[in-house]
């Protein structure tokens, strides 16, 4: 009997190409792919799900954490549905 380990969705911050807000995304694994969904406008894309994806999300988080010095609003992105615009 093979036990499949359940992989929990990953929440991460990024800019949505659809609504143009910085927001929380949720990546839900489905086999060797994941559905990555903007929690503000529900725009979804399919991404590859492999051992490197968590590292990619961590790198993006490090980048955004560095931007918080210049754009403190980014720190407000904590919960699904949170969104901000950095455009003037």
Per residue in 30-87, pLDDT tens?
889 999 999 999 999 999 998 888 899 999 999 999 999 999 999 999 999 999 998 7
Q: What is the residue extent of each domain of the chain?
A: 10-84
- What pLDDT sits at residue 84? 95
Instruction: Round to whole Å and give the CA distance between 61 and 14.
Output: 8
State CA 48 to chain mean position distance.
14
pLDDT band at 5 (very low <50, low <70, confident <90, very high): low
Higher pLDDT, 40 or 2: 40
């Amino acid at each position: 009997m093979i036990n499949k380990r359940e992989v929990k969705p990953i929440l991460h911050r990024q800019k949505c190409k659809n609504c143009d807000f910085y927001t929380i995304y949720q990546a839900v694994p489905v086999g060797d792919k994941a559905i990555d969904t903007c929690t503000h406008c529900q725009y979804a894309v399919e991404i590859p799900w492999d051992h490197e994806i968590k590292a990619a999300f961590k790198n993006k988080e490090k980048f955004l954490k560095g931007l918080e010095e210049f754009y403190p609003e980014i720190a407000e992105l904590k919960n699904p549905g949170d969104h901000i615009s950095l455009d003037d």
